[in-house]
Amino acid sequence: MSATFVGMPAFPAAAREALSDTQLRRNLAHATGTIRAKRAAVVGEVDEWEELRMAGAAIKDNTLRHLDEHLLRLEKSLTDRGATVHWARDAAEACEIVASIAKQHAVDEVVKVKSMATQEIGLNEALATQGITAWETDLAELIVQLGDDLPSHILVPAIHRNRAEIREIFRDKMAAAGRPAPDDLSDRPAELAGAARLHLREKFLRARMAVSGANFAVAETGTLVVVESEGNGRMCLTLPEVLVSVVGIEKIVPTWSDLDVFLQLLPRSSTGERMNPYTSTWSGATEGQEAHVVLLDNGRTRALADEVGRQALRCIRCSACLNVCPVYERTGGHAYGSVYPGPIGAILNPLLRGTGVDDQVDSLPYASSLCGACFEACPVRIDIPEVLVHLRSKVVDAHRSAPKAEAVAMKSASWVLADSKRLGLAERGMGLAGRLLGRFGRKVMPGGRRALGRLPWPGSLWSNARDVPAPPAESFRAWWRREGRR
């Protein structure tokens, strides 16, 4: 696996490969099970949880409906407080802005606090092509970056790795990136975290420029908010002379006081804690630091124009939907082929990038059983199943041209079913097939009925993911003729 999502196969192919990785499934089942239990316990403590969800959804919806006004207000309040505001239509433009700020300050390395927006735009790779190294400083991001791997979870990007794998990555790769791992490094989590602390501290102390995202941007006051646990965020936000924050335009909340909703919803939904260890807020340039804010579109206005899908822009990237999703738990994040995996990724990617353009993106609305657990877990009440169904219809519409095999099959089926004589004949044929296939069926389903293995193409499109029951040896009507008249 290389450190880019470009060229990833469509979800069904990627998922099949992931399902055969038993180590991955064990790591994931353990991690998602743990975090589900923690989240349930701390959410259960809050009697007004449903009201907070309603408030969170309403605040975000109200902001999105007047996003142009809030963007202008945010720009003004940031500028008034000494920050420089940049606007980026797409990934390339955003990366170019960050690179040019680095060049103005003659820096060839930057430290980064984990940011979904900068992963989305491929900032690290873009900076590398201009000779600028970006060091990820979140422990999980460090594991992913050193392992030349891809993140697989919004909140815990290395959720697919266990401690033994992490130890190997640190021992093999740390030396080439700076301070090497200690020779006697064990796989105890505390020792692994200690090695990361020493390795990264030398980078924090010498860094002159940092890049961050923001969890929230307050239009009224120009306040950016970063929520984190390790202190690497605080290191990036406070130590370097120059701070560049890449902020998606959907991150806005109108007023400072609105944060009282999100600072309750986010920690409990994400890490399952009452509060994350560190939250930093700052308004514009502070303590003599030069501050830049890049307001990023990159498909967000496309999502905004979709009346059903617009609600996905409420997302606060907590990852609660990933941890409750039966599909994510078995396939992991890589199968989604994007920095936004899981149920939210299955809707966010097609909304940001459009349907009917890319087979990988078009496969994502189908990466779900529509069980609804994600909607129930979402702290801002995004109706993910509703959006999935809506996007499936858009994908179908985008590919509507020659009649498909399925449509042809349905048409002939309707001809058979429309007439009792034709149906009787078909059933006799099925009975014969059933007696034959039942004998050769390779699996036995619950209840004792035989099931077939994979069908030849085009039946394989159906049977690759499902057991196909052998047809019954006798139709109901045949049975009735034989038995029912006694």
Q: In the range 325-364, which residues lie near other proteins by CB under 8 A?
A: none
Judged by CB under 8 A, the chain residues 83 through 122 that form the site for other proteins are 86-89, 93
CA–CA distance from 10 to each of 17, 354, 355, 357, 395 (Å)? Answer: 11, 15, 14, 13, 14
Which of 158, 242, 293, 361 binds other proteins (CB under 8 A)? It is: 158
Q: How far is 406 from 62, CA to CA, in rounded Å?
A: 42
Task: Tell whether residue 54 is a contact of other proteins (CB under 8 A).
Answer: yes
Sheet strands side by side (includes 133-136): 84-88, 290-296, 242-248, 209-212, 109-112, 133-136
DSSP 312: G
Q: What is the largest CA-CA distance in the chain?
A: 96
* Residue of 249, 322, 347, 367 that binds other proteins (CB under 8 A): 249
Residues contacting other proteins: total by CB under 8 A: 92
Contact between 474 and other proteins (CB under 8 A)? Answer: no
Nearer to other proteins (CB atom), residue 234 or residue 330? 234
Q: Which is nearer to other proteins, 48 or 419 (CB)?
A: 48
177 binds other proteins (CB under 8 A): no
Minimum separation from the CB atom of position 1 to other proteins (A): 19
The verdict on 382 binding other proteins (CB under 8 A) reads no
Angstrom distances, CA of residue 111 to CA of 12, 102, 182: 36, 11, 22
Q: Which stretch binds other proteins (CB under 8 A): 12-20, 282-290, 364-372, 476-484?
A: 282-290
x/- letters, 210..229, toward other proteins (CB under 8 A): --------x--x-x-----x
Phi and psi dihedrals of 233, rounded to 5?
-65, -50
Among candidates 27, 6, 16, which has minimal Cα distance to 331? 16
Between 367 and 377, CB nearer to other proteins: 377
Binding to other proteins (CB under 8 A): which residues in 288-307?
295, 297, 301-302, 304-305, 307
User: By CB under 8 A, is residue 182 in contact with other proteins?
Assistant: no
Q: 52 or 473, CB closer to other proteins?
A: 52
Q: Which stretch binds other proteins (CB under 8 A): 44-52, 370-378, 435-443, 450-458?
A: 44-52
Which of 119, 120, 112, 118 shows the shortest CA–CA distance to 142? 112
Q: CA angle, corner 136, sides to 174 and 340, nearest 5?
A: 125
